Structure 1
């Protein structure tokens, strides 16, 4: 009887085992095994540690102490505020608008919020804020320049060339070199007022100011209670005509109370009351002498 020869074992894995090996070799599964499982272990441990309220409070306390230790280091502390480009009064207003208790950590300063508060002040045209080396909060200000004085029902105020409000003043005598405008809506047309004031330069010191009438036209006010009533359209040209006529015939040096140019086709002169009385007196004398 011949011996039975055993069938040689196939070294190849089974189909299921082959598929399992291939699945284990895919990049996603390898990454999950290398990173995901340790991460889940860490998260689980952290969750177990933080499940206790006392442990959470202790951790937050340690984090706060660590953060405070970093933020309060000398190189991050701001000790003073420096303001450039502003007058003494405006500097005081800025410090009042941005009350800071120095020293303060630079991490506690919102520079954009500080800049916005400063820029909201009427005298400030533009502002920039930064932290200089040495712990200095540097504020650079571009202040509005007074261009004209506006007298309104609420008082006397300074305006810039665009009509932006700068500050209230007690009297126009504080700025004797600036012209005065008055009337409702005068602050809305400051550029036109400045053009008229420039055109009135030949009148010299006789110019007292401009009055806005009906929010649509200007009266030029001179000394001796004289007025030039300008039309709503092309007022600069009308004023230049009056000045040219006055230089040629001394019209404004005579007893003229009002030069009315509201109707460009029919300019009108109104004499002073004394001139009218003298005229009637002369007529009476001439009439009685006939």
Structure 2
């Protein structure tokens, strides 16, 4: 005999005799689906209470003027801290640089004294100092004793560059350091000129060093066509150096100078652009004398 399975209970009949539909309404269904989303549940559980708390706090602060009191309290605490002597800067020190550069750095730093170390923008001060042509790098910090210390690495000029704009001191990398109004102000530095000369400062200094036998007579090095150098001496003499390995060509000329006093003779140009065929250009007087001697020798032969 089969067991009797009880049937599901029937929904209660409505008073009007029609059965009630067990399916949820469309609105209820959508609300249930929305509640199943984790983001919506977090918004309801946390966002709504937080928003209510913020609105309530804002209302209370606005009603009792607590916000203004809080701002005033913050300002008073800030002033009490800022005005303490431990944070007061009374002088700017620039050690280990020349006096002229130190004064330029103080002006460029633009820190009105007295100042507070908490309010001084050291990054902006460093950028203003490093904008100076004579400064390679800088470090700014507040130290004990009310001192703002600015340590700068000064660019060391190694040569004078003559350009269309005038005379400028440049460092080993060809970076401009400062302007000079006269060559006589830095007679200790070699003079270079010509377009592209600042990109070959090291080579120019090596050529100056290799011309020691005539160092006192050198007037400068001229970059020609941004490819090679001409060494200019007094008395209008010029040593034209090749594009490749100018140091070797200059050493040959210096050897001739030491052994034969080549540059003491009536020579205007020593052309070493082709090292295989060096060429000399004589002065007008030397050419006339040479022509006269040749004419005399030819007359004797006749």
TM-score by length of 1: 0.80
Aligned partner of 1:266 in structure 2 is: 277
Structure 2 residues not aligned, in runs of 5+: 1-49
1:272–1:53 CA distance, 2 compared to 1 (3 A): farther
Q: Offset at 1:67?
A: 0.9
Which 10-residue stretch deviates more, 75-84 or 93-102? 93-102
* Residue among 59, 65, 72 paired with 1:61: 72
* Residue among 254, 259, 264 paired with 1:248: 259
1:84–1:53 CA distance, 2 compared to 1 (3 A): farther
C-alpha contact (below 8 Å) 2:135/2:153 kept by paired residues: yes
Aligned-pair RMSD on alpha carbons?
2.4
1:141 counterpart = 2:181: no
Aligned partner of 1:17 in structure 2 is: none
1:199 counterpart = 2:213: no
Aligned partner of 1:219 in structure 2 is: 230
Q: Offset at 1:42?
A: 7.6
Distance in 2 (CA, whole Å) between partners of 1:87 and 1:143 is 9
Distance in 2 (CA, whole Å) between partners of 1:52 and 1:108 is 34
Deviations along 1:90-138, one digit per CA (max 9) or x if unpaired, are 1221122121211111111121221222122111122211111111001
Deviations along 1:134-169, one digit per CA (max 9) or x if unpaired, are 110011122111211111111001111221111000
1:280 counterpart = 2:296: no
Distance in 2 (CA, whole Å) between partners of 1:126 and 1:70 is 32
* Residue among 230, 245, 255 paired with 1:234: 245
Aligned partner of 1:123 in structure 2 is: 134
1:271–1:43 CA distance, 2 compared to 1 (3 A): same
Distance in 2 (CA, whole Å) between partners of 1:131 and 1:47 is 41
Aligned partner of 2:190 in structure 1 is: 179
Superposed, 1:28-67 pairs within 5 Å as 46-52=57-63, 54-67=65-78
C-alpha contact (below 8 Å) 2:160/2:191 kept by paired residues: yes
1:182–1:62 CA distance, 2 compared to 1 (3 A): same
Q: Offset at 1:86?
A: 2.0
SS at structure 1 position matched to 2:235: coil
Superposed, 1:39-118 pairs within 5 Å as 46-52=57-63, 54-118=65-129
Aligned partner of 1:156 in structure 2 is: 167
SS at structure 2 position matched to 1:150: strand
Which 10-residue stretch deviates more, 77-86 or 53-62? 53-62
SS at structure 1 position matched to 2:293: helix
Structure 1 residues not aligned, in runs of 5+: 1-38
SS at structure 1 position matched to 2:204: helix
Distance in 2 (CA, whole Å) between partners of 1:116 and 1:128 is 10
SS at structure 2 position matched to 1:265: coil
SS at structure 1 position matched to 2:205: helix
